[in-house]
Amino acid sequence: MRVTLVTLLVVLTVPVAAQDSLPWQDPGLAGLARIEGLDLRHENSTDPQGKNIDYRAIQPGETLTILDQAGPGRIVRLWCTIDHKEDHHLRKVVLRMYWDGEDEPSVNVPLGDFFGLGHAQYYHYVSAVMNAAVGRAMSCFLPMPFDSRARITITNEGEREVRKFYWQIDWQPMASAPPEDTGRLHACFNRENPTEAAPGTGFDEAYVVLDAKGRGRYMGCVLSVHGLEPEWWGEGDEIIEVDGKATQGTGLEDYFNCAWGFTQPFWADTFGAPFVAPHGEPEKATVYRWHVDDPIFFGESLRIRIEHGSENDRSDDYSSVAYWYQTEPHEPFTLLPVADRLPREFQRELDVELDTESVAIEGAPAIKVDKPRIAPPVFEDEATTSPEWAALKMVLLAGWLPFALLVGVVWYLRRRKP
C-alpha cells in the first residue's frame, strides 16, 4: 500500500503516547474533504523586487538563512535546487537546522546527502519522504515541528560562488506548543574512508550509522558505499541496538529490502537503490530505507551499525545520513571537514565503451567492466576484425565504385537513345 503525504503527517507527528484531540494531529484520508483546517504559510526565494531573479547567490564561506520563523509551528515541505559549477558541490554546501533557539544544529548534513544524493552525484528518484526529481529538484516531506523558533541555513564551504540557490518552505502555524513527547527532526552525516578490515570482530568494529542518546524514534537512513576491493561488498549484517539490547540482521541488502545485491537502480516509497553504477556488480551505490510503517522507538539510546563485509572483512568507503526524531536536548555531533567529505573517483577505467545497459543513469561515467557477469563480451569472427581483412575490404570497395559508376553511365546513355 502506498504511503500518502497525509498519512505520513499522521504517522510521524502523533506523539508516542496517545493524546486527546489536538491541532497537531491530522484526520488522515478521511479528512481530505474538510474545507477548514490549519493555515499553510509559504516562505521562498522569490525576488523582492517582483522580477524573475528568484534566487540568492552564496559566496565561499557565507551562510544564507532561508528560514527564521517564530513558533509554534510545523514545517511540512522543504524544496530547493542549486546552480553551482564547483566539482562535488553537493558535499561542499551544508544544510543545518536549529530548533527552539538551540546553539548546536539538530540537522548538520551536506546538502546532497540530506536529500539522498550520495557520492556527490545527481540522479533521479522519488520516495515517500525524500525526492530528487529529474535529479536536480530536491524535496523533503518529513514533518518538522518546532515550539519557539525554527531556523534553517545553507553554508557554502566550497571555494567558488554558488551562483543560484532557490528554495520553498511550506509550514503551518499552531495555536499551542507541540506535546512534550513530540520529537524534533535530527539528521547527521558520517563517513569512514576506508573502513578497516578486521575479520571476525563483529559488532565492535562495524560501521556506525547512528549513535543517539535520549528518547525518540528512528526514521531511517541513506547509505552510500564505494567498493574499493574486488567482488561484492554487501555481505555485512545490520545491528540495531535499542536501549542497550542489540539484534543482528542477515545482510546489508536484506535490511534495505533488496536481495542478492543491488543489480540495478530502483526506488519505492520506503526503500530503494537509486544510484547503482555500474549495473550487475556496482562499484558505487546509494540506498535508502524509511521506517514509516515499521517504527523503531527508543527510550534512552539507539545505535545503528552495519558490518563492512562479512564480519567486517573488507575495507571500503562508507558514508551515510541517519534521520530520527527525539526530544531535546540532543548530544552534539560534528560534521567532517570538506576534504574528508569529498568522494573518491571511480577506480575502474573511465570513458571506455561498454554495454550501455551497464550505466543507465544519466551523468554516470562509463566504466570498463572486466568480469563477464557484469557486461558479457561480444566475440566476433577474428577474420572480420583483423587489419588485413579491413584493408582488403577497402581495396574491393575502391575498385567496385568506379565500375558501378561506369555501368550506371552506360545504362543512362542507352536509355536516352531513340
- The single residue listed with the C-alpha cell 503525504 is 5
Q: What is the pLDDT, as a whole number, of residue 201?
A: 81
Q: What is the dihedral of CA 250, 256, 258, 262, to 10 degrees?
A: -110
Q: How far apart (Å, rounded) are the C-alpha atoms in residues 313 and 324?
A: 29
- Four-way CATH pick for 5-341: 2.60.40.1120, 3.40.50.2000, 2.60.120.1390, 3.10.310.30: 2.60.120.1390
pLDDT in tens, 395-418: 666 666 677 777 776 666 666 555
SS3 (DSSP) at 294: coil
Kind plus residue range of the DSSP H or E element containing 122: none
Contact call for residues 174 and 72 (beta carbons, < 8 A): yes
HSE-up of residue 110 (Cα within 13 Å, Cβ side): 30
Q: How far apart (Å, rounded) are the C-alpha atoms in residues 374 and 355?
A: 9
Residue 398: CB atoms within 10 A of its CB come to: 9
Residue 404: exposure state from Cβ atoms within 10 A (0-12, 13-18, ≥19): exposed
Contact call for residues 160 and 40 (beta carbons, < 8 A): no
Name residue 130's beta-bridge partners.
140
SS3 (DSSP) at 80: strand
- The single residue listed with the C-alpha cell 518529513 is 142
Q: Is 318 left (phi over 0), alpha (psi -120 to 50) or beta?
A: beta
Residue 22: CB atoms within 10 A of its CB come to: 15
Q: What is the dihedral of CA 55, 59, 64, 66, to 10 degrees?
A: 20
List, as one string, the DSSP characters of 225-291: EE--SSS----PPEEEEETTEEEE-S-HHHHTT--SS--S-EE-SSEEEEEEESSSS-SEEEEEEE-
Per-residue pLDDT of the chain (418 residues; tens, 9 = 90+): 444 544 454 445 444 433 344 455 555 677 777 777 789 999 999 999 999 999 999 999 999 999 999 999 999 999 999 999 999 999 999 999 999 999 999 999 999 999 999 999 999 999 999 999 988 999 999 999 999 999 999 999 999 999 999 999 999 999 999 998 899 999 999 999 999 998 888 788 999 999 999 999 999 999 999 999 888 888 899 999 999 999 999 999 999 999 998 989 999 999 999 999 987 778 999 999 999 999 999 999 999 999 998 889 999 999 999 999 999 999 999 999 999 999 999 886 544 333 334 334 444 444 443 433 333 333 344 444 556 666 676 766 666 667 777 777 666 666 655 5
Contact call for residues 96 and 108 (beta carbons, < 8 A): yes
pLDDT in tens, 15-60: 443 334 445 555 567 777 777 778 999 999 999 999 999 999 999 9
Q: Is the dihedral of CA 233, 235, 236, 238 positive or negative?
A: positive
Give the cell for residue 330.
540532543
Give φ, ψ of 357 to 5 degrees.
-65, -20
Q: How far apart (Å, rounded) are the C-alpha atoms in residues 260 and 275?
A: 16
- Number of residues written out for the chain: 418
Q: How far apart (Å, rounded) are the C-alpha atoms in residues 279 and 252?
A: 18
Contact call for residues 238 and 255 (beta carbons, < 8 A): yes
